């Protein structure tokens, strides 16, 4: 190792005199992606020089070296097992730059709008949560600043929170969902977790999408520069991160699309997910998985007693109109249902419920099952696997359930012509008459079962009170997600997708 280091160092003929640096999102206390992926490091140095990078700590590995091209150097370390701490040193002839207290673990990117940005100091029991921070020194946090750009940037324009060991003053301003998810994952994995927050309140999915993804859904770039315009946040807050090796991403967004390209969301959201995967895979030199796990929060509630279908429609579109994930259009994804967690007295508005603990716990269950392949982890709420129409409507679920009475959580669309049932159709309640361990029996209120053309569940902005929806998994932890299902032309079978 020493001989190789000397040879490389002597080969660097250009002076670097204080011009050597790492890119903006590398720093002391950071987490780099562990094996089997290679961690990618890059930065700046004078053109034509040679940069050498080496690791010192609990293990040693060979020196990595790279030429500087267009002012940028880049190396991929050999895979490093989870742990640390390490020092990471870059050298360019007579200049050095060292990152200290670096850990190796899994990197999770946390994106979206205001409910992802919602700070840890704002949640229920915030003081208790912040007091726990000292127990998680190996869960490290980083936050990109709010910035936008009309073109794709190589590096972040500004860092809001550099890599930090969790402490009261820094964690209180960090994303609650991101932090809670990260500490849950640390409790499960028992190795370092790096959390990268890059989100901005009030922003639509189009702002976080590349022009490639937008074109897939027939969307065009906007002409002016505001945070709501297409691609401006992708350009400034996601594209700069592509060289970074990550393990996965979680996402909380959709409120801004309830009245902006709402009917495109069943295309724009899956397109963004797939485009991020491709871009991170290529940008990291194939180190980030091309199908990296992607978790998201299905929208919570906003307006009680609202008759607007915007939120339920976005919830449906978040699953690519299937009702659950993973599914054939959204592979390797997981979802936290949150519509049963309303917060009438939130001082931040009902659109910002303070219970982020349950959201993060449900995301954690999905990550364990989907992202880490743990078997027999319940992470999906009950979903119908059969609907039969006779004198009543019988809804059978794909798992054991617990049920509460309801007169209006289920609704039917009546049509003797089998016309399409949509938002403008007449929907009427179908009361739950009885239930057993795996099914519920419904009584249509205004038409005979043979004339029921469609059935939907929890198709309201605010369908139930806190953790009091009618159908849950047998554990009582996972709510049944909302659905809208339409009947085939015969009178007994209904269209639905099979879980994969």
Name which of 210, 199, 205 is nearest 279 in CA terms.
210
Same domain, 254 and 117: yes
Are 110 and 64 part of one and the same domain? no
User: Is position 118 within any domain?
Assistant: yes
**DSSP bridge partners of 124:** none
Q: Is residue 492 part of a domain?
A: no
Same domain as 154, residue 68:
no
> Could you tell me if 239 and 269 lie in one domain?
yes
Query: Does 109 lie in the same domain as 82?
Result: no
Domains in the chain, number = 3
Q: Are residues 138 and 240 in the same domain?
A: yes
Residues 82 and 118 in one domain: no
Does the residue 40 lie in any domain?
A: yes
Torsion angle defined by CA atoms of residues 446, 450, 453 and 454, in that order, rounded to the nearest 10 degrees: 70
341 and 388: one domain? no
326 and 310, same structural domain? yes
Residues 130 and 112 in one domain: yes
pLDDT tens digits, the chain, 500 residues: what are they? 333 333 333 343 456 766 899 999 999 999 999 999 999 999 999 999 999 999 998 777 778 899 999 999 999 999 999 999 999 999 998 899 999 999 999 999 999 999 999 999 999 999 999 999 999 999 999 999 999 999 999 999 999 999 999 999 999 999 999 999 999 999 999 999 999 999 999 999 999 999 999 999 999 766 555 777 899 999 999 999 999 999 999 999 999 999 999 999 999 999 999 999 999 999 999 999 999 999 999 999 999 999 999 999 999 999 999 999 999 999 999 999 999 999 999 999 999 999 999 999 999 999 999 999 999 999 999 999 999 887 889 999 999 999 999 999 999 988 765 557 877 788 999 999 999 999 999 998 777 767 788 999 999 999 999 999 999 999 999 999 999 998 865 545 555 555 65
Domain boundary among 43, 77, 101: 101
Same domain, 278 and 129: yes
Same domain, 278 and 415: no
Per-position DSSP letters for 329-394, written without gaps between them: TBTTEEEE--TT---TT-TT-TTS-S--HHHHHHHHHHIIIIIS--TT---S---EEEEEESSSEE
Domain-located, residue 378: no
pLDDT at 8: 37
Expressed as residue numbers, the domain containing 228 is 104-371
From 39, 68, 101, the end of a domain falls on: 101
- Domain membership flag for residue 465: yes
Q: Is residue 455 domain-resident?
A: yes
Confidence (pLDDT) at 282: 98
Q: 496 lies in a domain?
A: no
CATH classification at residue 217: 3.40.50.1110
Q: Is residue 491 part of a domain?
A: no
Domain boundary among 39, 73, 101: 101
CATH at residue 72: 2.60.40.10
């Amino acid at each position: 190792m020493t001989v190789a280091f000397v040879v490389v160092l002597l080969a660097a003929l250009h002076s670097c005199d204080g011009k050597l640096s790492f890119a903006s999102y590398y720093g002391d206390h950071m987490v780099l992606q562990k094996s089997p992926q290679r961690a990618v490091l890059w930065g700046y140095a004078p053109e034509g020089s040679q940069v050498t990078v080496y690791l010192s700590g609990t293990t040693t590995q060979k020196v990595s070296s790279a030429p500087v091209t267009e002012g940028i150097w880049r190396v991929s370390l050999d895979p490093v097992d989870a742990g640390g701490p390490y020092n990471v040193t870059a050298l360019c002839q007579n200049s050095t730059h060292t990152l200290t207290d670096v850990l190796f673990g899994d990197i999770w990117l946390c994106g979206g709008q205001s409910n992802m940005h919602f700070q840890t100091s704002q949640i229920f029991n915030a003081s208790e949560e912040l007091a726990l921070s000292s127990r998680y020194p190996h869960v490290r946090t980083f936050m990109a600043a709010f910035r936008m750009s009309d073109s794709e940037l190589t590096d972040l324009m500004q860092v809001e929170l550099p890599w930090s060991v969790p402490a009261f003053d820094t964690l209180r301003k960090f994303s609650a969902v991101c932090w809670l998810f990260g500490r849950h994952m640390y409790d499960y994995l028992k190795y370092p977790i790096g959390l990268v927050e890059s989100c901005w309140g009030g922003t639509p999915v189009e702002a976080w999408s590349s022009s490639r993804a937008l074109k897939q859904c027939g969307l065009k770039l906007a002409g002016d520069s505001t945070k709501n315009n297409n691609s401006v946040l992708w350009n400034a807050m996601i594209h700069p991160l592509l060289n970074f090796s990550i393990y996965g991403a979680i996402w909380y967004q959709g409120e801004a699309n309830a009245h902006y390209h709402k009917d495109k969301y069943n295309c724009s959201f899956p397109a963004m997910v797939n485009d991020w995967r491709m871009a991170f895979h290529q940008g990291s030199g194939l180190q980030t998985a091309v199908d990296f796990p992607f978790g998201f929060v299905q929208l919570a509630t906003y307006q009680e007693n609202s008759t607007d279908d915007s939120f339920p429609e976005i919830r449906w579109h978040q699953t690519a109109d299937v009702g659950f994930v993973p599914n054939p259009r959204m592979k390797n994804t997981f979802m936290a249902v949150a519509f049963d967690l309303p917060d009438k007295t939130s001082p931040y508005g009902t659109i910002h419920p303070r219970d982020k603990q349950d959201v993060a716990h449900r995301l954690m269950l999905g990550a364990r099952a989907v992202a880490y392949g743990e078997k027999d982890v319940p992470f999906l709420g009950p979903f119908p696997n059969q609907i039969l129409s006779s004198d009543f409507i019988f809804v059978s679920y794909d798992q054991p359930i617990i049920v509460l009475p309801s007169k209006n959580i289920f609704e039917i669309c009546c049509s003797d012509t089998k016309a399409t049932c949509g938002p403008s159709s007449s929907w009427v309640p179908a009361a739950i008459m009885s239930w057993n361990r795996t099914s519920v029996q419904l009584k249509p209120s205004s038409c005979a079962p043979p004339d029921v053309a469609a059935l939907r569940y929890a198709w309201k902005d605010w369908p139930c009170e806190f953790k009091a929806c009618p159908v849950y998994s047998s554990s009582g932890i996972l709510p049944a997600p909302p659905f809208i299902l339409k009947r085939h032309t015969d009178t007994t079978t209904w269209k639905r997708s099979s879980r994969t």
